């Protein structure tokens, strides 16, 4: 089962993803894409770590997500990626459009063929106003297109608002 969980900041999407991973009954590997570069982000990472079960594996990968998914996915295993928009930001900050396109395409190409359970978490940023800055507009556009393509390849898509899951596609939770 491939799951995509979308939501705004502090919407409960990560907590829902973690609950789904536990409920799967499978061995879980958490794939963190963030690069905590400031105190606020370090605090977010700390809270996520404290919330996760001690027996979960952890892989920190800010760029080569598809390669990690291919290497780690297995029948009887659950991979939880948190989050796609941080991964996308990392790639955008490289200012290398070829690398961004290659990594995005590699991710989308592997999604439908990965064995096991996959839970992707991502920030839904397209519900607000059009940003004024060029980089921010590129980010919002790239995130929206990534979400559309990932949702097409996932069996379940959930939008999380105020801690409540809203089913957009697939079986109910």
Say if residues 14 and 167 touch (Cβ distance below 8 Å). no
Q: Is 147 a catalytic residue?
A: no
Q: How many residues comprise the chain?
A: 173
Q: For residue 150, with 0-12 CB atoms within 10 Å meaning exposed, 13-18 middle and 19 or more buried, which class applies?
A: buried
Q: Which of 48, 70, 138, 169 is catalytic?
A: 48
Phi, psi of 115 (to 5 degrees): -80, 165
To 5 degrees, how large is the angle CA 118–CA 111–CA 58?
40
Say if residues 145 and 108 touch (Cβ distance below 8 Å). no
How many CA atoms, within 13 angstroms, populate the side-chain half-sphere of residue 170?
A: 16
Closest CA to 158 of 9, 10, 65, 20: 20
Pairing of strands 164-169, 156-161: antiparallel
Tell me which residues are annotated as active site. Answer: 48
């Amino acid at each position: 089962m491939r799951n995509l969980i979308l939501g705004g900041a502090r919407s409960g999407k990560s907590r829902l993803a973690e609950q789904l991973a536990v409920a799967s009954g499978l061995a879980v590997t958490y794939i963190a894409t963030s690069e905590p570069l400031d105190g606020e982000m370090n605090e977010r990472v700390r809270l996520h770590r404290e919330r996760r079960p001690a027996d979960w594996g952890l892989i920190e990968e800010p760029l080569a997500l598809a390669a990690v998914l291919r290497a780690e996915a297995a029948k009887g295993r659950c991979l939880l990626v948190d989050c796609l928009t941080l991964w996308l930001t990392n790639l955008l900050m490289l200012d290398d459009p070829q690398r961004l396109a290659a990594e995005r395409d590699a991710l989308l190409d592997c999604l439908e063929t990965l064995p096991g359970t996959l839970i992707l978490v991502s920030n839904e940023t397209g519900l607000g106003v059009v940003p004024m800055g060029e980089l921010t507009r590129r980010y919002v556009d790239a995130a929206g297109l990534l979400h559309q393509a990932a949702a097409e390849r996932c069996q379940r898509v959930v939008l999380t608002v105020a801690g409540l899951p809203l089913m957009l596609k697939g079986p109910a939770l």
